[in-house]
Amino acid sequence: MASERPGPAGAATARRRLTSAELAVWRSLLDTTGELQRRLGARMTADCGLSPSDYHVMVTLSEAPRRRLRPSALAEAMDWERSRLSHQLGRMEKRGLIRREECATDNRGSEIVLTDLGATAFRAATAPHARAIKEHFADALSADQFTALADVLTSLSRHIFPEREA
């Protein structure tokens, strides 16, 4: 039946347009996640003096071997345009959070390295950031809602990244 809700990802689509209810949920998702990101970012800046972009770069570098990545690999890992990353790295380099070093395997290239100061700032920001996530996100949901949200996010991820299932 054309008015029935389609099944999980991969099932045949029964209709071509979003319903007004689906569109309202989509808008609510955008508005809510945008506001959540804004609040968490403002809190991080107030608590730690770091921008969300600083933190994103630092968490990505902290997870990399020897806390270093080529700029292209860093941009890809963060899903950022290289020009955006370049401007961000310039600001962070001036503050001593990262540095650029020659690449040991390619004299034409460089690597972005999380400095000791950057690693210390990142570690200092982690607990306040986790508390803010708890306050603005986790405390708002029940255990059942977390389970349901995890299920929704898994479904979306499988739909968006089918190659990860292989």
Cα–Cα separations (whole angstroms), residue 52 to 49, 69, 82, 132, 157: 10, 19, 17, 13, 23
The pLDDT value given to residue 14: 59
| Residue 144: predicted pLDDT | 97
Phi, psi (degrees; rounded to nearest 5) at 37: -60, -40
At which residue do the structure tokens 């347009």 appear?
Answer: 17
Q: What is the pLDDT of residue 104?
A: 79
* pTM more than 0.75: yes
Count of residues for the chain? Answer: 166
Looking at residue 6, its pLDDT comes to 53
Q: Rounded CA gap, 41 and 57, in Å?
A: 14
Residue 166 pLDDT? 59
At 132, phi and psi to the nearest 5? -65, -40
79: left (phi over 0), alpha (psi -120 to 50) or beta: left
Enter the tokens of residue 150: 């995890």
Query: Block means of pLDDT (10 residues each) for the chain, length 166 residues?
Result: 50 71 96 97 96 97 94 96 96 97 83 96 96 96 96 95 81
pLDDT at 62: 95
| DSSP, residue by residue, 33-47 | HHHHHHHHHHHHHHH
